[in-house]
Structure formats: C-alpha cells, structure tokens
Structure 1
Amino acid sequence: MNAEVGRGDGEYLVVGVDGSEPSLRAADWAADEAVLRGVPLRVVYAHLWDRYEGSALARDVERPAGPPSPRDIADAGARRALARHPGLRVTVEVVPEEPEYALVREGRHAAALVVGTRGRSGVAEMLLGSVSLAVAAHADCPVIVLRGSHDHQATPPVHGRVVVGVGEDVKDPAAVRFAVAEARRRGVALEAVRAWRCPARESIDHPLVTGEPARLHEERAAEELETALRDVPDDLRVYRRTVEGYARRVLLDASHRADLLVVGARRREGHVGLQFGRVAHGLLHHSACPVVVVPHREGDA
C-alpha cells in the first residue's frame, strides 16, 4: 500500500474494518467520502476484535491458509476502497488493541471516522454493534455510522438531502456546520429540523386562550432554528422545519428522506459511559440512513 499518511487535523479520513461484509461496505462508503473531501483514506483494523467464522467473514477477505491474518483483513478493506476509486491514496494500519480504544485514538486528528453496523445475536445490521456505539460516544471527531439502506455509497446522492437535527444548544451548532459542509460537497439541499413539545399541563388552559402555549413553544423553536442557521451560506438551499413531537421520532421520520442525518453530542470532561443523549442513541440504532454524531466539548468556542 501507499506511504503513511501525515498527521494533522482533518488531513485524512479513517474507516474501521473487522472482516465482516458490513465493515467492507463501510470502506466503500468511506472511499466516496474521502474523494468528496479530497483527503487520503486510512483503513484501520484492531486485531483483538472477535474472529469470525463462516458467512460472517466477507468473501473479499483472502484466506491463503487457515484463518485470515489481521493484515489480510485490513488489506481487504483497502482493496475495496481502491477498486471503487483507483486514484485514492489509501493506507493500512493494524493495531493490536481493543477496537473501541484504537479507533477513538485514530480519530483524534481525522476529518471523520466511518464505521459500519454489525449487531449480535442474529440481528446483524438491525441494531448497532457495541464497538460502533462506543466509538460514536467517545471519539473527538465526527463519527459516521452506516445505518439503513445507504446503497454502499456516499455519492451520487439518492435522496438529494442532508438532514440536521437542531437541539437546544444553538449557540455552538457544530452539527449544523458539519451538515452545511456535507450538503455543499454533495450539491444537495440541507434540511434543518427543530422538534418541540408543548408540556401536557399547558394543553388544558382556559378555552379562550387554547392554543396559545403551543404557539409560543413553536415560535421559540423557530427562533432557535434561525439562530443555529445564522451563518449558513446564501448559496445553499435550506429547508427549515419545526415539528411538534419527540425529537427522536421526528428525526427518525426525517431519516427516510435523507442521504445523511447529522446530530450533535456534548462531551463532558471526566465523564464515563456513553456521551450522548437518548435521541442520538435511538437514531444510531434505528435510523433509515447513515448517521453522523458530531462532538462538542463543553467550554469549546
């Protein structure tokens, strides 16, 4: 393979592979994304992952004699990427470490990190695997999790739309900035969604003012949406949607018409466990399209 990629923020894209077909499809998708960004692709295999047998191991993994070596698995991911884009610069890294730790470290200076979906206990690709979930919860860079029917491709667009969920923290819309950049790279529209709810206790007000509390909540949601979109370039087509309902359900519905669904995740120093809320957790398990988790650390500008 080619020479080592230079380090530095945003200089390359990382994809994690494990020898399964979903992970090699992630290499396909990551190759498209790397070409869109004009950066090299780094294929990483952490060889303490489970060894797979039978149909769980992708046919593209070469097995010259007995079980494949860690290098065989990593090279299979690189071959898939190069078959898709022969001119792409691809490097391979084999790491003797647990995958969640290795990939989080690899993502520290990456533009983004791509992982596939591989569930356990007979529900492969229905629920998110533990490694992908852990990486999305702890990485310092945006993590792209390939859920849904992405057709193994980042381009050309299928639906012609990137959707971003706008949360309450609109003063630092890192997720919006990422979504804007992705929409512009793809030449598609951006759909910004702000879900809102009217507390149940406010729905039984005096008949003469029925609907007033709901109107105020909707207006506040629209204002928050505009604040989050204040720096969006004028040349990007943007659809603004405020929708009454739980954010998880609203965004899951939106995922059916999106090529990419982008959400934010706040990182807290010293916090252990999954560092995103219930909305992102639900989307990672059930979205109909790839999901991007964009981290923001408290105190960052």
Structure 2
Amino acid sequence: MNSRAPAGVVAGVDGSAPAEAAAEWAAQEAGRRGCPLHLVHAVDTGTVTLSPRTGAAVTDLILRDAQDLLADCLGKLAAAHPDLRLTGDVVPRDAAEALLTAAEHAELAVVGTRGHGGFAALLLGSVSLRVTAHSRCPVVVVRGVPEPEAETGSRVVVAVRDEHDAAALRFALRSAADRQLPVEALHTWSPLVAEAGRATPMPDEATEEARLHEQLLRSTVDPVAEDYPEVHLDARRLSGATAATLVEASRQAALLVVSRREPAPRFGLRLGTEVHAVLHHAHCPVAVVPV
C-alpha cells in the first residue's frame, strides 16, 4: 500500500454510482493529460470492539472485499481505456484523509457527489466536501454520469473575481485546450448604493463602476490568455448574484471552474457561500482550484 500516489490524477472509489461516475471522468481526464490514474478505496475496518481473533478475521474479510471491489473497478477502466496507466490502493483509514494523502503530489483529485456512507437526501457528501476544502491540488466534483466517449457541454466556464483567480483561469484554459472547447470567463458584480436610502446609483456612477469592473476583468484575463492562443476566450461582465449566475451557466458547460480563496481550517469546511452553492447545484462537473 502506498499512502501517496504517483503524480497524475487521483480518484476515490467505493462501489457507489457517484464514485463510478467520478472514476470514469477521472480516466477520461488522465487520458487527455497523458498522465496516470490512481484509484483510492478507503475502508473503515471498525473492529476495535471485537475479540482479537474475531476482529482479525473480520478485518481480513473487509479488506478482501475491498480488494475485490478495487480490482473490479480497475478492470472496467482498463477495458474501457486500454492505454491508460492505472494503479490503485486499498487504504484502511478515513476516506477523506486517505484521498488527501494520496493527492498530496497529484495534479488533480476527483470525487463523486457522495458515496455509500452519505445520506440520500444530501446533494454532496461529507467526504467530497472535506477533500474539496483541504486539498492542496485542484479537486473536481463529478455530478451526473459522463458520456463514455465525450463530455456534453459546449464550453468551459470559469468564475473570475480579480487577479487572485489567475490559477483558476489557467486551469480552465488548459482544460479547454485539452477538450478543444472555448472558455467563458464570468465576472459577476452588484452595483453599489452610493448613499444610504438610495435604491440605485446615479447613471454616471453606474457607468464608472461598470468601467472599473471591466478593467479589472481584462487585467486578470488578458495576461493568462496570452499563454493559450489556441483557446477562444469570451470574458463577460454580468451584474447579479454569483452563485445563481454560475449555476445557470453550468447548464451548457462541460466543466465549471471556481477558486477556493483561503485554506480551510484543519477541521472546517469553509469554502465560501458561492462555492458551496455551486458544488451543490451545478449541472456539470465542478473544479475547485486552491489559490
């Protein structure tokens, strides 16, 4: 068992339909990137209350079942992606910690919306949230089941607030180049109220504010876009709520890319309200890039 995976793409599997979808998406992504895919199946042996002999037997049974599940998943992916370099490990520990450790030197981590341990009513499981909140590398949360040959969606959408989002923009441009898709960079803003009690700013103020936001968007996008001349980029400035705008844009997207602005506390799940809402409601896979 290797706690740290080789550099490449890492995906968590547990036999659930969301995890299978995530593994298939990860295989397609690893193929596009020309890098290996490493699967992690974490299991909690949970035998501390049993007698030593019974506990050891139960642990062995759990681990054998886990190895069978992993082998089955690896076999399916190998058959569907014969040129892909595949490895995998069964890790007897907490699933989120196992994935975070495996992804320490990875290019990308991939998770499903929720696994067998999650409640059906939850749109996103605790493991996916913890990995997304704490990973050192970008994390993609796969929503839905990817097409076997190609993704649906006509573009890659990325949220751009200011220059701190350059890493997310670069991730979006690389992803779009790999898919031969255009990028739509969205900068959302809400007009400020200049004086207390006034419902809307004066026209001149609104025009100046819009100009400043346009300038901020261009100064963020243009330097990064120069490195990807083959990718068509449409930078748009929109007024309105960020989360709602991004969720609506995700209807036609192959991938939605957002930034995770600050490292979460060790045991916290602070992802920001917009990122949290997008993870729960987007219509396509969501990439969360730490910046």
Alignment of 1:76 onto 2:76: no
What amino acid maps onto 2:183 in structure 1?
L
Other-structure match for 2:51 = none
* Residue equivalent to 1:156: 150
1:261 aligns with 2:253: no
For the 8 Å contact 1:150–1:259, the answer to whether it is kept is: no
Do 1:26 and 1:146's aligned partners in 2 also have CA atoms closer than 8 Å?
A: yes
- What is the alpha-carbon distance in structure 2 between the residues aligned to residue 22 and residue 7 of structure 1? 22
Distance change (3 Å), C-alpha of 1:66 and 1:183: closer
Conserved 8 A contact 1:104-1:135: yes
1:46 to partner: Cα distance? 0.7
Greater share of residues in helix: 2
2:239 to 241, 244, 250: 244
Displacement of 1:212 = 2.6
Post-superposition offset of 1:68 = 6.9
CA displacement, residues 223-278 of structure 1 (integer Å, 9 cap, x when unaligned): 22112212213321011111101111111111111000000112338664124211
Map residues 160-175 of structure 1 onto 2, 5 A cutoff.
Answer: 160-168=154-162, 170-171=163-164, 173-175=166-168
Map Cα deviations across residues 162-203 of structure 1 (whole Å, 9 max, x no partner). 0000124x1451101100100001110000000000134559
SS in 2 for 1:92: strand
Identity fraction in percent: 36
Q: After alignment, is 275-284 or 187-196 more displaced?
A: 275-284
SS of 2:210 mapped into structure 1 = helix
Among 196, 212, 226, the alignment partner of 1:220 is 212
Q: Is the 1:132–1:145 contact (alpha carbons within 8 Å) kept by the matching residues of 2? A: yes
Distance 1:186 1:5, change over 3 A: farther
Correspondence 1:43-192 to 2 at 5 A: 43-48=39-44, 69-118=65-114, 120-123=118-121, 127-147=123-143, 149-152=144-147, 156-168=150-162, 170-171=163-164, 173-192=166-185
**Conserved? CA contact 1:24–1:80, under 8 Å:** no
Instruction: Return the TM-score normalized by structure 2.
Output: 0.84
Contact 2:159 2:185 in 1 (8 A): yes
How far did 1:89 drift? 1.1
Measured in 2, the distance between the counterparts of 1:160 and 1:5 equals 37
Instruction: Using the TM superposition, give the Cα deviation of residue 144 of structure 1 relative to its aligned residue in structure 2, in angstroms.
Output: 0.4
Alpha-carbon offset, residue 66 of structure 1: 9.8
Gaps of 5+ in 1: 51-64, 297-301
Instruction: Give the match for residue 27 of structure 2.
Output: 31
Structure 2 gaps, min length 5 = 47-60
Task: Look up the match of 1:193.
Answer: 186
2:252 partner SS: coil
- Give 2:191's aligned amino acid: C
Q: What SS does the aligned partner of 1:114 have?
A: strand
Q: Distance in 2 between matches of 1:164 and 1:12?
A: 22
CA shift digits 1:32-74 (9 cap, x unpaired): 0010000111010111299xxxxxxxxxxxxxx9997111222
* Aligned CA distance change for structure 1 residues 73 and 244 (closer, same or farther; 3 Å): same
Whole-angstrom CA distance in 2 between matches of 1:72 and 1:228: 48
- How far apart, CA to CA, are the structure 1 residues paired with 2:107 and 2:169? 16
- Give, in whole Å, the separation in 2 of the partners of 1:202 and 1:238: 37
How far the C-alpha of 1:24 sits from its partner, in A, is: 1.0
Q: Could you state the TM-score of these two structures normalised by the residue count of structure 1? A: 0.81
